[in-house]
Chain A
C-alpha cells in the first residue's frame, strides 16, 4: 500500500469511522477553525504588543537597580554555561536526534524571540551570546567530558548547589557588591528565586517528614502526621496571610525575615507537606523485605536509608514530586495577592498603568505562555528522567 493511501485510511479510521464520529469531527473542525481565525484576527489586528515591549525589563526583573543588572546577566551566563556542560556530560560526544532538535529549537528561539519582542540591540546580542555559550558548552563537554577522571566526575554535580548559593549572592549583593534588598527584586527574577529556593529546601524537609510519619516512634509519627495534615488542610493563601501577619508576632522584634523571605519559607513549609505525602507513597510501595534485608546485612539505619530505601522509594515517588514542583511554581503567583511584585504582581502593576489600560489580554497571554513552557518543560524532564531510571532499574535486575 502506498503512503497517501495509508494516510487516508488512517484518517478515515480516526475521524470518520461511524456516521456519529463523522458528525463530531465536522462539528469540532468548524469550531476549531472559527476559534483559530478569531485568535489570529485578534493577535494580528487588535492586539497591541507595545505593552510587552515597553515593560520587558520590568516583567523580567522588577525594580532591580539598572546599573546592577550586569550581575543578573553574569548569573544567566553562568547558568547557561553550567547547563550546557551538564547536558554535554550526560549525553557524551554524539548528538542524538532529540539533542539536535533541542539545539535547533534553542537556536531558532534565540534568533527570533528577541527580534520579535523588539528588544534593544545590545540585549539581543547578549541573548545570542548566551545561546552560543550553552551550545558550545554542550559541544565541548561532550567532546572532552570523557577525559575527566571518574573521581572528578562524581564531584561535578556539586557545582549546581554552589552555583545556586553564588547566584543568591550575586542577586542580593554583599561582600563588596552593592546590596540589593529583596523588596527590589521582582518579576520573573522573584518568581524563579522563590520557586527554586522552595523546591530545593522542601525536598529534604519532605523526606524527613515522610520518614517521620512512617516511624515506629509514636511521638515522631504523631508530630509529622499532625504537621502534614494541618498544612494540607489549609489553603496556601491563608498560610501566606499567616506568614505576613503573624510571623512578626511569633519572633522577637527585628528577627522576623523580610516579607520576601517570609513568603519563601511559607512556600517551602507548604510544599514540604505535599512532598512528604508523595515520598510516603514511594516508601509504602517498597516491600518490607528491603528494610529487613539491609538491616540483616549489618547496615545501620542511615546506610539502609541512603543505599537501599531512599533510592528505590524516590524513584517511585519522582513523578508525584515533580508534579508538586510544578504546582509550587504555579503557586508563586499567589504572592501577588499578598502584595509582592512577582511576575503576576508586576504584570498587574503594568496593567494598572493608565498608559496601558485595557491591554490585559496581551499580558495574561504572555504570562500564560511563559508559565506553560516552564511547567511543560518540568513535566517533560521528569518523564524522560523516569524512563531513564526505569531503564537502569531493569538493566540492574538479574
Chain B
C-alpha cells in the first residue's frame, strides 16, 4: 500500500526537525542582527579591550591586592576570588549544619526532632534574600562597638567586624590577628543557615532510605547510637545523599550572587559596577554566565568523583 507522505515514519521526523531548526535559526539570526545593529548604533560593538583600562573603583575587601588603578579584569578576578572564598567556607559550614540537623530528625529525643523539623520548615519558606538582609541589617549592623562589644574567649563581635585570635581594645578600636568584615559574616551566616536547611532535608531523606534492619542489626551487635550512625547508617545513606548534595551545592554557589544585598563585593556586584561604568552589557553578562557555568561544572565534577567513591564497590 502506498503511504501518503504525512504518514511516512522516516520523512516526518526529518521534516519536523527541519521546520523547528529553521524557525530557531531565523529567530536567532533576527535577534543577533538586531543586537549588532543596536550595539553599533550605540558604539558598543563587542570588544574586550576595555578589560585592560583602569577600573577606577575600589573593592571594599579582597584577598587579591587591589586598588582603583588596576584594570577591570583584575577587579573581576578579585570579585571571583571573593565569591569562591565565601562559597567554599559556606559549603563546609552548611554541610556540617545540615548533617547535624538532618540526623537530629532521627533522635530519640522528641523535642530535638521537632526543633529540627521546625528549623527546616521555617527557613525553607522564607526567601533567602530576606534572610540575608535580616542577618546584615538587623543582626550584624546592630552589634555594639568599643568596650560594649560582645566578647567571647576567642572572638569579639563588634560593629567594626568580627575579631579573632585574642583581640585587644586599643584606643576604642579592637585589634586582633584576624578581622572578618560584617558583610562577609552576614553573607556567610545567611548562606550556611539557608543551605543547611536544604541539606538537612537531603540528609534526612538519605538516612530514611536506609532499611530499619540496619539500625537494629547494629544495635544488637552492641554498637551505641553514635557508632551506629557513623559506622553503619551514614556510609549507606551517603549513596543517596551525594547525588542530591550536588544540586544543593550548585544552588549554594548560585545563591552566593545575592551577596550584593549585604554589600559584599562578590563577582556579581563587581560586574554590576563594571557595567554601570563601561556600559559593556553584553560582555559583562557573557563573563558572568560563563564564570557561574564553569563554577557549576567544577562542583559537578568533584561531586561525581565523590559519588563514585561512595557507591557500592561490587567485586
Chain A residues close to B by CB (< 8 Å) = 14-15, 17-18, 21, 24-25, 28-29, 216-220, 223, 230, 233-238, 241-242, 245-246, 248-253, 326, 330-331, 333-334, 336-337, 344, 348, 351, 360-361, 364, 367-368, 371-372, 375-376, 379
Contact = CB atoms under 8 A, between A and B. Distances in A.
B258 A237 contact: yes
25 contacts: A17-B108, A24-B107, A24-B109, A24-B112, A25-B109, A25-B112, A220-B20, A230-B289, A235-B255, A235-B292, A237-B268, A238-B288, A238-B292, A246-B281, A249-B282, A251-B31, A348-B133, A351-B137, A360-B133, A360-B137, A361-B134, A361-B138, A364-B133, A371-B130, A372-B125
B17 A217 contact: yes
A223 B16 CA distance: 13
A376 B285 contact: no
A334 B260 CA distance: 11
B121 A241 contact: no
B130 A238 contact: no
Contacts of B122: 372
Nearest to B133: A364
A21 B108 contact: yes
The A interface, classified by DSSP as helix, strand, loop or mixed, is helix
B296 interface: yes
A217 B13 contact: yes
Contact of B257 (A237, A248, A376): A237
Interface in B107-143: 107-112, 115, 121-122, 124-130, 133-134, 137-138
B293 A234 contact: yes
B270 to A, nearest CB: 13
Contacts, number: 142
Given A233-B292, A331-B127, A219 B109 contact: no
Contact of A15 (B34, B39, B109): B109
A249 B281 contact: yes
B35 interface: yes
Interface of B: 13, 16-17, 20-21, 24, 31, 34-35, 38-39, 42, 107-112, 115, 121-122, 124-130, 133-134, 137-138, 254-255, 257-258, 260-261, 268, 272, 275, 281-282, 285, 288-289, 292-293, 296
B17 A21 contact: no
A14 B20 contact: no
A382 B115 CA distance: 23
A372 B126 contact: yes
Highest count of chain A CB atoms <10 Å: which of B107, B134, B275: B134
A376 B133 CA distance: 21
B24 A223 contact: yes
Contact of B17 (A220, A249, A251, A337): A220
Contact of A245 (B16, B38, B111, B285): B285
Contacts of A28: 111-112, 115
A343 B84 CA distance: 31
A344 B130 contact: yes
Given A217-B16, A249-B35, A364-B138, A379 B125 contact: yes
A208 to B, nearest CB: 11
A248 B258 CA distance: 24
Contacts of B115: 28
Contacts of B108: 17-18, 21
B117 to A, nearest CB: 13
Nearest to A373: B125
B83 to A, nearest CB: 10
A304 to B, nearest CB: 16
Nearest to B38: A249
Nearest to B134: A364
Contacts of A219: 17, 20-21
B191 to A, nearest CB: 13
Nearest to B281: A245
A233 B285 contact: no
Contact of A368 (B16, B42, B107, B130): B130
B127 A333 contact: yes
A216 B129 contact: no
B109 A21 contact: yes
B125 A326 contact: yes
A238 B289 contact: yes
A238 B268 contact: yes
Contacts of A375: 124-126
Q: Top 7 A-B pairs ranked by shortest CB distance?
A: A14-B110, A330-B127, A375-B125, A235-B254, A245-B281, A219-B17, A235-B257
Given A218-B17, A235-B254, A250 B35 contact: yes
Highest count of chain A CB atoms <10 Å: which of B35, B122, B127, B268: B127
A246 B288 CA distance: 13
Contacts of B125: 326, 371-372, 375-376, 379
A73 to B, nearest CB: 27
Nearest to B126: A368
Contacts of A237: 257-258, 260, 268
